[in-house]
A = this chain, B = another copy of it.
Amino acid sequence: MDINHMNFQDYLNALSGLNLSNMYLKDFFLTWEKTDDEIKGIWTVADALRYLRSHNISTKVFDSGLGISLFRDNSTRTRFSFASACNLLGLEVQDLDEKKSQIAHGETVRETANMISFMADVIGIRDDMYIGKGNKYMHDVTDAVQQGYDDGILEQRPTLVNLQCDIDHPTQIMADTLHCIHELGGIENMKGKKIAMTWAYSPSYGKPLSVPQGCIGLMTRLGANVVLAHPEGYDIMPEVEDIARKQAAASGGSFTKTNSMEEAFKDADIVYPKSWAPFAAMEERTELYGNGDQEGIDRLEKELLAHNAGFKNWTCSEELMKTTKEGKAIYLHCLPADISGVSCEEGEVDASVFDRYRDSLYKQASYKPYVIAAMILLEKFRDAPAVLKALEEKGTPRIFR
């Protein structure tokens, strides 16, 4: 069945075979902590929600309730995606702006988490700046609200959506992959495809590792041949590579590494060229930060920028694109991209390549609100497919008619 021409019953049918019961009142941290059924379930629910909205059917399942957001880093895309997802389901976003908040010095995460959660159904957190911190913080928050719920303090258990941590960027990479699935006509068509997750040069510093890690951590599950390419020294977390290796073996795909962008692009079906900082440097920065060593951080930044500059040829050029499968690989980026001659002198991608793929890139981004909404729906409802069915039958219009 072509995934791009499903009717509503097709989504329900697709969901009926999946075991999704274990998602209820759980959180979403990392894609590889979820079963294949659960990952498929999120994609299918995302598509079903999109179907309903595009047919002007309301998907408001909350009559009231808050979706708490906490962004420890600037964000436009993810902020608006989370706000859109919450609004789509009927939750009002309440942002925890740590600058305007009275969070006492030494106040425990446990306390803050409970204090903001009395009427919270969902918590979305972005915390990607320091290795070993972001994901841990999210666990601290969910442990706290779970305990608050168990102890009778919270009337409902707010569930978490990881909006980017130091390890994974699940809402991003789930959206990216759903885009590929639609481009290729179905999840089964990901099998055997060559996917090049490659480093690319950017004049900026210290971009998170969560996208390349998220990519190899998810796409290796689908039977694809995933290649991770980067200059020597730009390694990512070894633990995630291990996961990718194991998953590839299980799925009948492969996971390989190379220090050649050319090799990665050769005959690739999908390319994801993007800058990131070396894992070792990120660890060093985390330690410097822990020691309050701003001078050290500044020095590190200078070193990294200088080192980066040695790899300006790692760019997604027209020439490289021509070497992909029929010269027509799907080009992915989480945006914003560093476009040569547009946002910087030399960057991750040629302007003409970016321009040609612009619509595709924006379409890729458009899946994120639905992926987030699907995660929320599956975390908050024991039987999400039944909820979808009931919404469709009820048919309340989103826009008055």
Please list the residues of chain A having a beta carbon within 8 angstroms of any beta carbon in chain B: 50, 53-54, 58-66, 71, 73-77, 79-81, 83-84, 87-88, 90, 92-94, 96, 100-108, 110-112, 114-116, 118-119, 121, 148, 151-155, 335-336, 338-339, 342-344, 358-359, 362-363, 365-366, 368-369, 380-381, 387, 390-391, 396-400
Please state if A104 and B343 are interface contacts (CB–CB under 8 Å): yes
Alpha-carbon distance A339/B339, docked complex (angstroms): 51
Selected from B64, B335, B343, B381, the residue in CB contact (under 8 A) with A58 is B64
Instruction: Name the residue of chain B whose CB is nearest to the CB of A54.
Output: B155
Query: With A92-B87, A399-B65 in contact, is A106–B60 under 8 Å at CB?
Result: no
With contacts A118-B369, A153-B366, A400-B387 known, is A336 near B103, CB below 8 A? yes
Q: Is the CB of B90 within 8 A of A102?
A: no
Q: CA of A321 to CA of B154 in the docked complex: distance in angstroms?
A: 27
4 more contacts with CB within 8 A, not counting A58-B63, A80-B94, are A53-B155, A63-B399, A64-B90, A381-B400
Neighbouring B residues of A111 by C-beta, 8 Å? 335-336, 362
Please determine whether B359 and A151 come into contact, CB atoms closer than 8 angstroms: yes
Count the copies.
3
Expressed in whole angstroms, the minimum distance between the Cβ of A104 and any Cβ of chain B is 4
Q: Which of B59, B62, B362, B369 contacts A398 (CB 8 A)?
A: B62
Contact between chains at B153 and A362 (CB < 8 Å): yes
CA distance A121 to B398 in the complex (A): 11
| Contact between A64 and B60, CB atoms less than 8 A apart | yes
26 A/B residue pairs, CB under 8 Å, sorted by A: A54-B155, A60-B64, A61-B400, A62-B398, A62-B399, A63-B400, A64-B398, A66-B84, A71-B100, A76-B115, A79-B100, A80-B115, A84-B119, A87-B119, A92-B92, A104-B343, A105-B343, A105-B344, A106-B339, A107-B336, A108-B342, A115-B362, A119-B369, A152-B363, A153-B363, A380-B399
User: Which residues of chain B come closer than 8 Å to A102, judged between CB atoms?
Assistant: 73-77, 336
Contact in complex: A106, B342 (CB < 8 Å): yes
Q: Which B residues are in CB contact (< 8 Å) with A381?
A: 399-400
Residue of B nearest to A75 (CB): B102
- Chain B residues with Cβ below 8 Å from A362 are 111, 114-115, 148, 151, 153
Q: Would you give the shortest CB distance from A217 to chain B, in whole angstroms?
A: 23
| CB contact under 8 A between A101 and B76, given known A92-B92, A336-B111, A396-B63 | yes
Which residues of chain B come closer than 8 Å to A104, judged between CB atoms? 336, 338, 343
CB closest residue in chain B, given A84: B119
**What is the chain B residue whose CB lies nearest that of A373?**
B119
From B79, B153, B359, A359 is in contact (CB under 8 Å) with: B153
Residues of B close to A359: CB separation below 8 A: 151-153
Interchain CA distance A121-B53 in the complex, whole Å: 13
In this complex, which of A50, A75, A335 has the most chain B Cβ atoms within 10 angstroms of its Cβ? A335
Query: Measured between alpha carbons, how far is A29 from B255 in the docked complex, in Å?
Result: 53
- How many Å from the CB of A267 to the closest CB on chain B? 29
**A94 and chain B: residue at smallest CB distance:** B83
Of all chain B residues, the one with the shortest Cβ separation from A115 is B77
Beyond A74-B100, A115-B77, A155-B54, is A66–B87 a contact (Cβ under 8 Å)? Answer: yes
The answer for the CA separation of A87 and B111 in the assembled complex, in Å, is 22
